[in-house]
Amino acid sequence: MEIAHPYLLFLGDVPDALAAKTAIGIVDWRREWCLGQIRLDGCAADTGLPDTTIAEGAKAGAKTFVIGAVNAGGRLPDHWIASVVEALDAGLDVASGLHVRLGSIDAIREAAERNGRKLHDVRHSNQTFATGKGTKRAGKRILTVGTDCSVGKKYTALAMDRAMNQRGYSSSFCATGQTGVFISGRGLSLDAVVADFIAGAAEWLSPETDENHWQIIEGQGSLYHPSFAGVTLGLLHGSQPDAFIVCHEPSRTKMRGVETPLPSIRQVIDLTIQCGKLTNPNIQCIGVAVNTTSLDEDEAWAYLAKIGEEFGLPATDPVRFGMDVMVDKIAAEYGAP
Amino acid sequence: MEIAHPYLLFLGDVPDALAAKTAIGIVDWRREWCLGQIRLDGCAADTGLPDTTIAEGAKAGAKTFVIGAVNAGGRLPDHWIASVVEALDAGLDVASGLHVRLGSIDAIREAAERNGRKLHDVRHSNQTFATGKGTKRAGKRILTVGTDCSVGKKYTALAMDRAMNQRGYSSSFCATGQTGVFISGRGLSLDAVVADFIAGAAEWLSPETDENHWQIIEGQGSLYHPSFAGVTLGLLHGSQPDAFIVCHEPSRTKMRGVETPLPSIRQVIDLTIQCGKLTNPNIQCIGVAVNTTSLDEDEAWAYLAKIGEEFGLPATDPVRFGMDVMVDKIAAEYGAP
């Protein structure tokens, strides 16, 4: 799936910023791809982009109308359909991370056909994959893993990609979830793939590359999450990382959406190495990325120092303190760019 | 998915017994559900059932026409379509484990609609599942796991179910693959579920039950198989087994379809316990089931004795030597029926 940019970001009339987190994530990382936001009356979210209309956006060269908001249930509300049709009639493709397929709505399918435009359903995959093979591919790979879902695996991968680029490494971000796909303009929502092909899809997402190129792969779920660990393990095997970063949020006690207690960072490091060795015997942990929003700055530094000492690894908050210590670790372990 | 029996088993004109292994598996375990086999000219497979016609089978009370053979590529050959339509016109449902959906073939879809009959595509799932929750359910569960794919996990689970029943335990077989679904008349091809819902589907397949009832769950793949381990882990978490049996084929050196070396039985036991503890802290291994077809009888006994001693667990070949030693272990660990 390749999504053409520049984007127009559609926020609908969602009641809060959380419902527009896809659009906000896109602006955080790809501000330069975004021409403006389209909001309906009553919209309470704001990405900070200039408000525009579909007609103005099309005139300015927008290529894709991105539905960057979700309403409860992942449905497309009826009163959003007119905007989607207007975008198609204005010559834009449309991309959505909703559960409903765009093409299942008659007015949208017909408008896409009428205008010869593409509908990208990022949460769905019609693609056929081979099953995973487990053979070593050329190139270097970093995977972000976590003690839970939603602990910053995407953010950490994007921050690592940016930091490595700034330090002169050849690197690229590999998206495995819907917001990541919008941010990179390609990729795949791995949790939407048929179970037999998880590892195969992960291999397809991080293909053979130059020996000195680094693919920074967005992790999913957690090996210790009772809902999603299968996706996590297939992604670990398929992406065959040389190095991984553990992402952690210290205020959590239970895993997201379930009653299962959070695993320790040590447990995650050990099980990731144990399982990851299957497809990359040299797998190693290169650091811990902590979401320290629940801590004040002194507490955050103290926490990171404690983690760093405990594991003998760099520990940082990618948002607050940047990723330089992780790139230093890459330089120490694998050499300069 | 509930598939009505008695069955008529359709073998088409496949060139060998391997291509009819689904039908042969059904006859092995549910001979009493099968009224006869339907073979086209040139068919080289034989289940041992009486040859019959669709008209005779329908008259004798057959409820479902089961496509129990595959041709290369999992397609339905054009010259099989007439038989499927004839079965629908004779008032039977049709069930298939092919990759192609029956309803995607116009003549078949129309015949099903015309006769108000059901089309069961066992390899596909239109069902919606919740994500896995990981909470403990009432009842007892045994899962078969393996050092590889295709090492006897289904056979071992069915043999264990039969042996426990014969010894007075309340037990039932939970199918997670296509042949298993035909054999049990219900279940789900777990590898066809969308990745996000593997554990949730496994929870659905082995629901809460009486505290003294045993669900014997057909395993899939292997935690050490680089193509399918994600399915295996989701099934392990979702089925939350109290006990598991490791299935092994001693002549293999590489895992099926890939270059990865076979793991040891010890590795499989350890990783299964380590991961399985997440949803059942009391998980334990109760034995090793070995496919000894590559060994003569003396060698087989010697091999099983060695394995039994090494792990302090019962070891048997379910086909050659039965499952009594495993049921003894259940009685010792969990009490009499």
Distance from CA of B125 to the nearest CA of A (A): 10
B183: left (phi over 0), alpha (psi -120 to 50) or beta: alpha
Q: Mutation target for A interface from B194, B224, B283: give the one with most A CBs within 10 A.
A: B194
> A92-107 pLDDT, tens per residue?
999 998 888 999 999 9
Collect contacts of B165-169 with beta carbons under 8 A, ≥24 apart: B167/B327, B167/B331, B167/B337, B168/B336, B168/B337, B169/B214, B169/B327, B169/B330, B169/B337
Q: What is the pLDDT of residues B287-327, one digit of tens each?
A: 999 999 999 999 999 999 999 999 999 999 999 999 999 99
Residue of A nearest to B256 (CA): A133
The one-digit pLDDT tens for each residue of chain A (337 residues) are: 789 999 999 999 999 998 999 999 999 999 999 999 999 999 999 999 999 999 999 999 999 999 999 877 778 999 999 999 999 999 999 999 888 899 999 999 999 999 999 999 998 877 788 999 999 999 999 999 999 999 999 999 999 999 999 999 999 999 999 999 999 999 989 988 999 999 999 999 999 999 999 999 999 999 999 999 999 999 999 999 999 999 999 999 999 999 999 999 999 999 999 999 999 999 999 999 999 999 999 999 999 999 999 999 999 999 999 999 999 999 999 999 9
**Which residues contact residue B151 at a Cβ distance below 8 angstroms, ignoring those fewer than 6 apart?**
B247, B248, B249, B252, B291
**Contacts by B327-335 with C-beta closer than 8 Å and gap 24+?**
B327/B160, B327/B163, B327/B164, B327/B167, B327/B169, B329/B286, B329/B287, B330/B142, B330/B164, B330/B169, B330/B214, B330/B243, B330/B286, B331/B167, B333/B243, B333/B284, B333/B286, B334/B140, B334/B242, B334/B243
Nearest beta carbon to residue B226 from set A132, A196, A232: A132
Contacts of B230 in chain A (CB under 8 A): 195, 198-199, 230-235, 237
Q: Is the pLDDT of residue B24 over 90?
A: yes
Task: State percent of chain B over pLDDT 70.
Answer: 99
**Buried b vs exposed e over A193-218: b needs ≥16 C-beta within 10 Å?**
bbbbbbbbbbbbbbeebeeeebbbbb
Is B258 in contact with A226 (Cβ distance < 8 A)? no
DSSP label of A35: E
Per-residue pLDDT, A270: 98
Shortest Cα–Cα distance, B259 to chain A (Å):
7
How far from B190 is each of A259, B2, B182, B231, CA to CA, in Å?
24, 15, 14, 8
Inter-chain touch B199–A274, beta carbons under 8 Å: no
CB contact under 8 A, B227 and A133: yes
* DSSP reduced 3-state for B155: helix
d(Cα B232, Cα B146) in Å, to the nearest integer?
9
Listed in sequence order, the residues at least 6 apart from B4 whose beta carbon sits closer than 8 Å to its beta carbon are: B63, B64, B93, B185
Give, to the nearest 10 degrees, the angle between helix A153-166 and helix A324-334.
Answer: 70
**Mean pLDDT (whole number) for B64-88:** 91
Is B237 an 8 Å CB contact of chain A? yes
pLDDT tens per residue, range A5-48: 999 999 999 999 989 999 999 999 999 999 999 999 999 999 99
Q: Which residues of A touch B148 (CB under 8 A)?
A: none
B chain contacts of residue A275, beta-carbon cutoff 8 Å: 223, 229, 271
Asked if residue B74 has pLDDT above 90, the reply is: no
Window 282-301 of B: residues touching A by CB (8 A cutoff) are none
pLDDT for B12: 95
Q: What is each CA distance from B317 to A226, A275, B285, B333, in whole angstroms? A: 32, 29, 16, 21
B229 touches chain A (CB under 8 A): yes
- Which residue of A231, A267, A269 to mutate against B (max B Cβ within 10 Å)? A231
Distances (CA, A) of A268 to A233, A275, A292, B147, B168: 12, 11, 19, 23, 42
User: Which candidate from B133, B258, B271 shows the least CB-CB separation from A226?
Assistant: B133
C-alpha–C-alpha distance, residues A327 and A113, integer Å: 47
A76 close to A94: Cβ distance less than 8 angstroms: no
Find the closest chain A residue to B230 by CA distance: A230
Q: Find the CB nearest A258 among B133, B190, B235.
A: B133
**Residue A99 contacts residue B196 (beta carbons within 8 Å):** no
Chain B nearest-CA residue for A261? B278
pTM, to two decimals: 0.94
- In this structure, which long-range contacts are made by residues B112-120, counting pairs with CB atoms below 8 Å and at least 24 apart in sequence? B112/B88, B114/B88, B114/B89, B115/B88, B115/B89, B115/B91, B117/B88, B117/B91, B117/B92, B117/B93, B118/B93, B118/B94, B119/B93, B119/B94, B119/B95, B120/B1, B120/B3, B120/B64, B120/B93, B120/B94, B120/B95, B120/B96
The pLDDT value recorded for residue A18 is 87
What's the number of CA atoms in the CB half-sphere (13 Å) around residue B65? 33
Asked which of A32-46, B126-140, B219-233 is least confident by mean pLDDT, the reply is: B126-140
- Please judge whether B229 and A275 are an interchain contact, meaning their C-beta atoms are less than 8 angstroms apart: yes
Listed in sequence order, the DSSP H helices in B90-195 are 106-115, 153-166, 178-184
pLDDT of residue A87: 98
Question: Among partner residues A223, A227, A232, which is closest to B200 by beta-carbon distance?
Answer: A227
Superfamily of structural domain A7-121: NAD(P)-binding Rossmann-like Domain (3.40.50.720)
Q: Is the pLDDT score of B73 beyond 80? A: no
Q: What is the pLDDT of residues B251-281, one digit of tens each?
A: 999 999 999 999 999 999 999 999 999 999 9
Query: Is residue B75's pLDDT more than 90?
Result: no
Q: B289 and B152 in contact (C-beta within 8 Å)?
A: yes
Output the CATH code of domain A140-334. 3.40.50.300
Measured CA to CA, the distance from residue B269 to residue B315 in angstroms comes to: 14
CA distance A198 to B324: 38
Q: Mark which residues 133-152 of A lie under 8 Å from B by CB.
A: 133-135
- Asked if B198 is an interface residue toward chain A (Cβ–Cβ < 8 A), one would say yes
* Min distance B55 CA to chain A CA atoms (Å): 38
Return mean pLDDT, chain B. 95
Strand-pair partners of A120:
A95
Tell which phi-psi region holds residue A312, choosing left (phi > 0), alpha (psi between -120 and 50) or beta: left
What pLDDT is attached to residue A128? 81
Of the partner residues A195, A228, A257, the one whose CB lies closest to the CB of residue B231: A195
Return the pLDDT at A162.
Answer: 97
CB contact under 8 A, A195 and B199: no
CATH 3.40.50.720 residue ranges for chain A: 7-121
Cβ distance A227 to B193 less than 8 Å, yes or no, reads: no
Query: Would an 8 Å CB–CB cutoff place A74 in contact with chain B?
Result: no
**Whether B275 and A132 lie within 8 Å, measured CB to CB:** no
- The predicted pLDDT at position A100 comes to 87
The DSSP secondary-structure symbol of A73 reads: G
Report residue B140: phi and psi, to 5°: -115, 145
- The answer on pLDDT for B17 being more than 80 is yes
| Stretch(es) of chain A classified as CATH 3.40.50.300 | 140-334
What is residue A1's predicted lDDT score, i.e. its pLDDT? 73
Interface check A257 vs B, CB under 8 A: yes
Q: What is the CA angle B270-B274-B279, rounded to 5?
A: 135
- What is the predicted pLDDT for the residue at B213? 98
pLDDT for res B100? 87
* Half-sphere exposure of residue A252: CA atoms within 13 angstroms, side-chain side: 24
B257: left (phi over 0), alpha (psi -120 to 50) or beta: left
Structure tokens at B65: 């026409």
Per-residue confidence (pLDDT) for residue A177, from 0 to 100: 93
Residue numbers in A near B131 (CB within 8 A): 227-228, 257
Task: Identify from B121, B133, B196 which residue to disrupt to test chain A contact, counting A C-beta atoms within 10 A and taking the largest count.
Answer: B196
pLDDT tens digits along B28-58: 999 999 999 999 999 999 999 999 999 999 9
